Amino acid sequence: MMFEGKRGLITGVFNKQSIAWAIAEKIMENGGTCGFSYMPDKPDDERQKNLNRIQKLTEGNPSVAFLQPMDVTKDEQIANLMGVAKDKLGKLDFLLHSIAFAPPEDLKKDTVECSREGFRIAMEISAYSLLALANAARPLLHEGSTVLTLTYFGGEKAVPGYNIMGVCKATLDSIVKYLAFDLGAAGVRVNALSAGPLQTISGRGAGVDEMLGLYEAVAPLGRNVTHDEAGKCGAFLLSEMSSGVTGEILHLDAGYNIMGSPGRMLDKFKTS
């Protein structure tokens, strides 16, 4: 099994539909051990909804090392997470960054109308957080370790409805390249997985339902991708199978990103 004896940290799992969970499942199925961070519940939330979600997913799984709350905007909480990871795992063979957020009132606006504070919050959580986590994890990373983040095509091209999150993903994509250089001297790789639209919490917030039909019509394979495929591609990028790959954005979108025209959709407009 390709993750036998490997240990790592998974951030950003929200529920069963999370791409991060699809990747974590593949890692654990292949012998890996994972520690998980999750967004802390509010002090007045007696139901502890965030904790309960991750507990239900991981309960009874011997490959789960720990569950640790972590607000990525708090340096002390990031440091606490790395302290727990050191105690429970000893080292990090892989680190998955799956964290993004924009205030809904700003995400729903045209990009030009995004507020100053909304921009700051979205950029800090969705882009800077990768730098913060990677820097804090450096003492636990070693030659052969791999860092992976999740991005989207809206950071490369304008995707109406994706709005300010597309600006954040463009920044994240650039961070991947600069981190790949900075950490490359220590033998640490950094990559990004750019999946097509999937039914996730963040995807629904960015209008994924409207995109599914478009991707199916335009993509060369004539279909959308699946959570299982995202899990396999993410696991590949975090494994030694991709040992020579760094600074890359792997598109998992049935080929949608290569198209320079609507492809077979044009058939609908042809006249005899």
Question: Within 13 Å, how many C-alpha atoms sit on residue 232's CB side?
Answer: 6
Q: Which one of 38, 128, 152, 215 is the catalytic residue?
A: 152
Q: Which one of 38, 128, 162, 215 is the catalytic residue?
A: 162
Residue 118, helix vs strand vs coil:
helix
Spatial separation of the C-alpha atoms in residues 223 and 28, rounded to whole Å? 28
Residue 222, token pair as written in the block: 């004539």
Distance of CA 242 to the CA centre of its chain: 18
Annotate 38-57 with three-state secondary structure. ECCCCCCCCCCHHHHHHHHH
Contact assessment for residue 168 and residue 102, using Cβ atoms and an 8 Å cutoff: yes
Spatial separation of the C-alpha atoms in residues 14 and 23, rounded to whole Å? 13
Please give the sequence-ordered ranges of beta strands (E in DSSP) within 130-271, or none if there are none.
Answer: 146-151, 189-195, 249-252
Q: Which residues pair with 195 in a beta bridge?
A: 252
Dihedral-angle region of residue 263 (phi above 0 means left; psi in -120 to 50 means alpha; beta otherwise): left
Concerning whether 128 is annotated as a catalytic residue, the answer is no
Residue 80, token pair as written in the block: 């606490």
Contact assessment for residue 218 and residue 262, using Cβ atoms and an 8 Å cutoff: yes
CA distances from residue 60 to 49, 55, 65 in whole angstroms, order as listed: 19, 9, 11
Pairing between β-strand 33-38 and β-strand 7-10 as defined by DSSP bridges: parallel
Residues marked as catalytic: 152, 162
